[in-house]
């Protein structure tokens, strides 16, 4: 079932058209990867899925983006949307507060005050991010003392804490060592049964390892969108073939 439908979307930064006529269905309980050279529009599309572009001056979007058939630009409040559609960025960005507070922050802003309930959410979120055992004895310590890989998993735990339906990840492992990368990849594959996941990655092996569908972007267009196995073994489009085999990009 399609969780997100993208219909005829064009996005402009002022005069510059960053996305051209994008049409795409993103399925529930699948991992969808966006690949393509820098500046191809993949991160722009990812960010527009939870309206991160709203704050950028001069951005104009037309077409429709639907979450469960509801237009996210017309019929959903941005803060409600961001609760349903979480985002994890390239660089881990924990808040300068304790591990516990990092995870409890989101639920608190959504009105949850009861301590026992917050404790539960923090534990569940950290467990889901496969780091509960690593940090359970130092929840009150600063999150900034964690390693890069732990910080990134904390950010994923933070995204889980408000019980989202969709998780967007923008190159979540590009700054991490192979072990941390593998942990996050395993985590994403484990949790996809409960979420819809969209990941932007420059690591094509990562896309082949974890994603069900892959979209190849170039100059603001989706050149090819297909099952990952198909796209990386027998791409339909020569541009896709040339990009994934390293002939350009």
Partner 1 sequence: MRNRFDKELEILNLELIKMGGLIEESIETSAKALINKDLEMAKRVNELEVEIDEMEKTIENHCLKLLLQQQPVASDLRIISTALKMITDMERIGDNAEDIAEISKFLANQKFIKDLVHIPQMAEATISMVKRSVDAFVNKDKELALKVCKDDDVVDNLFQIIKTELIEKIQEDTENGEQAIDLLMIAKYLERIGDHAENIAEWVIFSITGEHRIRGEKI
Contact residues for partner 1, defined by CB under 8 A: 204-205, 208, 232-235, 240-241, 244-249
Between 176 and 244, whose beta carbon lies closer to partner 1? 244
CB of 43 to partner 1, least distance (A): 22
Residue 77, Cα to own-chain centre: how many angstroms? 19
Nearer to partner 1, 165 or 242 (CB): 242
The least distance separating partner 1 from the CB of residue 237, rounded to whole angstroms, comes to 11
Query: What is the rounded distance in angstroms from the CA atom of residue 242 to the CA atom of residue 233?
Result: 12
Look at the alpha carbons of 121, 126, 132, 136 in this order and tell me if their dihedral is positive or negative: negative
Candidates 217, 223, 167, 226; CA nearest to 38 is: 217
Identify which of residues 142 and 203 has a Cβ nearer to partner 1 in the complex.
Answer: 203
With contact defined as beta carbons under 8 Å apart, do 48 and 9 qualify? yes
Rounded to the nearest angstrom, the gap between the alpha carbon of residue 209 and the centroid of all alpha carbons in its chain is 16
In the complex, what is the shortest distance from the CB of residue 246 to partner 1, in angstroms, rounded to a whole number? 5
Q: Minimum CB separation from partner 1 for residue 222, in Å? A: 18
Largest pairwise CA distance in the chain: 57
* Residue number with CB closer to partner 1 (14 or 39): 39
Q: Are 85 and 58 in contact (CB under 8 A)?
A: no
Which residue lies nearer to partner 1 by CB, 159 or 244?
244
Shortest reach from residue 124's CB to partner 1, in Å:
36
Q: Least distance to partner 1 from the beta carbon of 62, Å? A: 34
Rg (CA), the chain: 18
- Name 109's Cβ contacts closer than 8 Å, sequence gap at least 6: none
Select 181 or 240, whichever has its Cβ closest to partner 1.
Answer: 240
Q: At what angle do helices 115-128 and 148-160 cross, to 10 degrees?
A: 120
């Amino acid at each position: 079932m399609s969780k997100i439908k993208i219909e005829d979307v064009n996005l402009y930064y002022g005069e510059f058209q960053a996305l051209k006529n994008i049409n795409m269905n993103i399925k529930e309980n699948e991992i969808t990867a966006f690949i393509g050279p820098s500046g191809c529009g993949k991160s722009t599309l990812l960010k527009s899925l939870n309206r991160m572009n709203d704050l950028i001056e001069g951005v104009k979007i037309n077409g429709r983006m639907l979450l469960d058939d509801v237009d996210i630009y017309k019929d959903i409040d941005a803060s409600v949307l961001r609760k349903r559609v979480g985002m994890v960025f390239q660089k881990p960005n924990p808040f300068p507060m304790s591990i516990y507070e990092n995870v409890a922050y989101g639920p608190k802003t959504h009105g949850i005050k009861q301590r026992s309930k917050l404790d539960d959410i923090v534990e569940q979120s950290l467990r889901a991010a496969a780091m509960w055992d690593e940090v359970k004895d130092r929840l009150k310590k600063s999150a900034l003392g964690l390693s890069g890989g732990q910080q990134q998993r904390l950010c994923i735990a933070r995204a889980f804490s408000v019980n989202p339906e969709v998780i967007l990840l923008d190159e979540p492992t590009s700054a991490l060592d192979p072990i941390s990368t593998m942990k996050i990849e395993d985590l994403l594959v484990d949790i996809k049964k409960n979420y819809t996941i969209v990941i932007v990655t420059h690591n094509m092996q990562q896309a082949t390892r974890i994603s069900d569908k892959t979209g190849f972007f170039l100059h603001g267009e989706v050149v090819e969108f297909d099952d990952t196995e198909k796209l990386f073994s027998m791409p339909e489009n020569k541009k896709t073939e040339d990009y994934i085999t390293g002939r350009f990009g």
